[in-house]
Amino acid sequence: MTENNHFDAIIIGGGPAGMTAGIYLSRARLKTLIISDGVLGGQMVLTHEIANYPGVESISGYQLSNIMKKQAKAFGCVIKGNTSVESFNLEGEIKEVTLSDGNTYTANVVILTPGGRSRTLNMPGEAQFKGRGISYCATCDGDFFTGKEIVVVGGGNSALEEAVSLTRYATKVTIVHQFDHFQAFEYAVEEAKANDKINFIMESSIVKFNGDDKLESVEIENLKTGEIQDFKTDGVFIFIGYVPNTEFLKGTVNMNKWNEIIVDSDMLTSIPGVYAAGDSIVKRYRQVTTAVGDATVAALAASNYIHQLKTKHLHESLTH
């Protein structure tokens, strides 16, 4: 292992949480490496407009991602994009991470920010029409459906709240839900029911997406009768939950039954020197602002941990 391959901190994941941690750590003069398996920015890059980021009136997710990347690099952060983690060992004082390019890196601290992705229905036609009539993000794609009729799938808070927000663009929104009741707060249910642009098809689910170049209709099955109707629509928004990108961590850090990483108030996982932040941790709200908040805490705690390790090693070398 060469000296060049050793870092103070390795961050796995290049979304807003990963880049925030990178900015804080490298600004603290700590040698930091960010590993991202795709383009930097994570889910944020897919967001057409971010209008609720404090201090910024309006910006695209892609632009905000680029600014964060420039900041991290300016402070000396090393960024490796489009590469994935092949194997790793997080135990002990020196953590080891091997990438798909064959290079192995070591660090005293690892911050896990792998993010997450929207849950899919896994029905015929879904992959084909993703981005061509099927969306998982109202903020990103709502305005593409101005003056159109759309379907929203789901029965939780996000499904109902996004359905209401989509009525700003669409002329008609039909909510398709598999149960006879919603799993959302009462206020969200009331608001959706009070909106005259919203209709409901309950105890039903979409079993197929149809179209040529773009989505034209969906097949909706009534789960009580088994009857299937072909329902014309310009677009479908799917809000049935979130899947954290933590498959590669199974058997290492403690996770809950949804495979979200369990952390304490310092964003520390079950392994000393391993922190986590962003959409992959156990939490209720997932926003860019909550991701950067988690990452700030994780980076400050990690920085303190590194400082304590270095002090300990210095003390040991002086006493020997």
The full set of domains in the chain, from first to last, is: 3-117+242-314 (3.50.50.60), 120-238 (3.50.50.60)
Could you tell me if residue 167 is left (phi over 0), alpha (psi between -120 and 50 degrees) or otherwise beta? alpha
Average pLDDT over residues 300-314: 93
Average pLDDT over residues 237-245: 93
pLDDT digits (tens, 9 = 90+) for 20-76: 999 999 999 999 999 998 888 988 887 767 778 899 988 888 899 999 999 999 999
C-beta separation of 17 from 65 below 8 A: no
Report the C-alpha gap between 19 and 66 in whole angstroms: 10
Backbone angles phi, psi at 279, to 5 degrees: -70, -10
- Reported as a pLDDT band with limits 50, 70 and 90, residue 3 is low
Report the C-alpha gap between 135 and 209 in whole angstroms: 13
Report the C-alpha gap between 320 and 56 in whole angstroms: 54
Tokens of 162: 């996004």
Report the C-alpha gap between 169 and 179 in whole angstroms: 27
Report the C-alpha gap between 298 and 277 in whole angstroms: 7
Q: Say what the pLDDT of residue 14 is.
A: 96
Residue 259 pLDDT greater than 60, yes or no: yes
Q: Say what the pLDDT of residue 320 is.
A: 67
What are the start-end ranges of the E strands in the chain? 6-12, 32-35, 78-80, 85-89, 95-99, 104-112, 116-118, 134-135, 149-153, 172-176, 198-201, 204-211, 215-222, 228-232, 235-238, 242-244, 274-276
Q: Percentage of the chain with pLDDT > 70?
A: 98
Q: Say what the pLDDT of residue 2 is.
A: 54
* Average pLDDT of the residues of the chain: 93
Report the C-alpha gap between 58 and 276 in whole angstroms: 28
Residue 139 pLDDT greater than 80, yes or no: no
Q: Say what the pLDDT of residue 111 is.
A: 98
Report the C-alpha gap between 144 and 252 in whole angstroms: 42
pLDDT digits (tens, 9 = 90+) for 161-219: 999 999 999 999 999 999 999 999 999 999 999 999 999 999 999 999 999 999 999 99
Q: Say what the pLDDT of residue 151 is.
A: 98
Residue 265 pLDDT greater than 70, yes or no: yes
Report the C-alpha gap between 111 and 128 in whole angstroms: 35
Query: Among 10-19, 105-114, 131-140, 213-222, which stretch is predicted with the lowest mean pLDDT?
Result: 131-140
